[in-house]
Amino acid sequence: MKKVLTIAGSDSSGGAGIQADLKAFSAHGVFGMSVITAVTAQNTQGVFAVQDIDVAVIDKQIEAIFDDITVDAVKIGMVSRTETIKAIANGLKKYNAQNIVVDPVMISKSGYYLLQPEAVEALISYLLPLASVVTPNIPEAEEISGLKIHSLKDMEEAAKFIHQLGPKYVLLKGGHREDDATDILFDGESYQHLSTPRIATQNTHGTGCTLSAAIAANLARGYSAQEAVSKGKEYIHTAIEHSFAIGKGVGPVHHFYNLYKGAGMLNDE
Ligand SMILES: Nc1ncnc2c1ncn2[C@@H]1O[C@H](COP(=O)(O)OP(=O)(O)O)[C@@H](O)[C@H]1O
Ligand SMILES: Cc1ncc(COP(=O)(O)O)c(N)n1
């Protein structure tokens, strides 16, 4: 079985972060492992507190995994602060980790800073060059590139800018625009538009986490970056289509729809 690591923050409500990633890994038939960078107290309505994990403990989690287990792909999510970013970059370089997907998580859907603003530069200079695929949403791409994004053409320009910062592929996600959910994949030469109809739902907590985890799982399974991304896009579409309301705010996506359906377990939907 392929083994995939998520380096990210914990979401107590289980919709985003480490919890979303491990669910996505399981749904892809890969063995999930985690390095926890921060513990958040959050639910469908907001983020209420964040405790960063000690850098020494982050180092040890990375060491414990890589000293013992072959890691087929790595997904990086919430990294919180500069020290954490440096520890992750050093650890991944030391063990020559491959198939790294960086989701440059910055601000939660409820408006909470999951990456300290002064750590954006460190994320750009330490993590982007290690990435096989980087998956910014529109506000993150604007922050990284300094460009304003309204149209698909603007998305292409920003993807091009981000590509020259070092990642092999840039997947700029269009979830924050208004028409179809169009994401743009740029490999340094050509742009591929991946488009699905927009689903009318407010339950999109953890969509970005889920997509990047799915891409990492697909890379571990041996798919090319293009295949890993287009399969990831299909996966997140189905997961959003069957998302559901838990709590009073933005609910989570459904990771196991296809599995449950196959097993006849959808009676209590
Ligand atoms: N309402 C929606 N309907 C269909 N796809 C969506 C919807 N919202 C987001 N997506 C897709 O989900 C993925 C995550 O997108 P996005 O919301 O931009 O990221 P993030 O969660 O990082 O803000 C992308 O593939 C995007 O196109
Ligand atoms: C611990 C953690 N990591 C990431 C997100 C972003 O979630 P989303 O995928 O909805 O942007 C989050 N809300 N919490």
pLDDT tens for 103-159 read 999 999 889 999 999 999 999 999 999 999 999 999 999 999 999 999 999 999 999
Fold of 3-262: UDP-N-acetylmuramoyl-L-alanine:D-glutamate ligase (3.40.1190)
Q: Which residues line ligand 2 at a C-beta cut-off of 6 Å?
A: 8-9, 11, 16-17, 40, 77-78, 105, 108-109, 114, 205-209
Q: Which residues line ligand 1 at a C-beta cut-off of 6 Å?
A: 137, 173-176, 181, 183, 196, 198-199, 204, 207-208, 211, 233, 236-237, 240
The parts of the chain modelled with pLDDT lower than 70 are: 267-269
What is the 8-class DSSP label of residue 154? H
Nearest to 104 by CA among 117, 87, 94, 90: 117
Q: Whose CA is nearest to atom 8 of ligand 1?
A: 175
CA of 16 relative to ligand 2 center, distance in Å: 5
Nearest to 6 by CA among 82, 20, 14: 20
Q: Whose CA is nearest to atom 4 of ligand 2?
A: 17
Sheet hosting strand 3-11, strand order edge to edge: 47-52, 31-42, 3-11, 73-76, 100-102, 133-134, 169-172, 181-186, 191-196
Nearest to 141 by CA among 119, 126, 120: 120
What whole-number distance in Å separates Cα of residue 181 and Cα of residue 179? 7
Q: Which atom of ligand 2 is nearest to the CA of 10?
A: 1
Which pLDDT score, from 0 to 100, does residue 263 have?
Answer: 85
Phi, psi of 184 (to 5 degrees): -120, 125
Q: Which atom of ligand 1 is nearest to the CA of 206?
A: 21
Which pLDDT score, from 0 to 100, does residue 262 have?
Answer: 84
- The answer to whether the beta carbons of residues 191 and 208 sit under 8 Å apart is no
* DSSP per position, 27-43: HTT-EEEEEEEEEEEE-
* Interface ipTM: 0.98
Q: Whose CA is nearest to atom 15 of ligand 1?
A: 175
- The answer to whether the beta carbons of residues 172 and 162 sit under 8 Å apart is yes
Q: Which atom of ligand 2 is nearest to the CA of 112?
A: 13
pTM, two decimals, is 0.98
Which pLDDT score, from 0 to 100, does residue 259 have?
Answer: 85
CA of 52 relative to ligand 2 center, distance in Å: 15
Burial status of residue 62 (CB atoms within 10 A of its CB: 0-12, 13-18, 19 or more):
buried
Mapped onto helix, strand or coil, the DSSP state of residue 251 is coil
CA of 42 relative to ligand 1 center, distance in Å: 20
Nearest to 213 by CA among 31, 90, 84, 59: 31
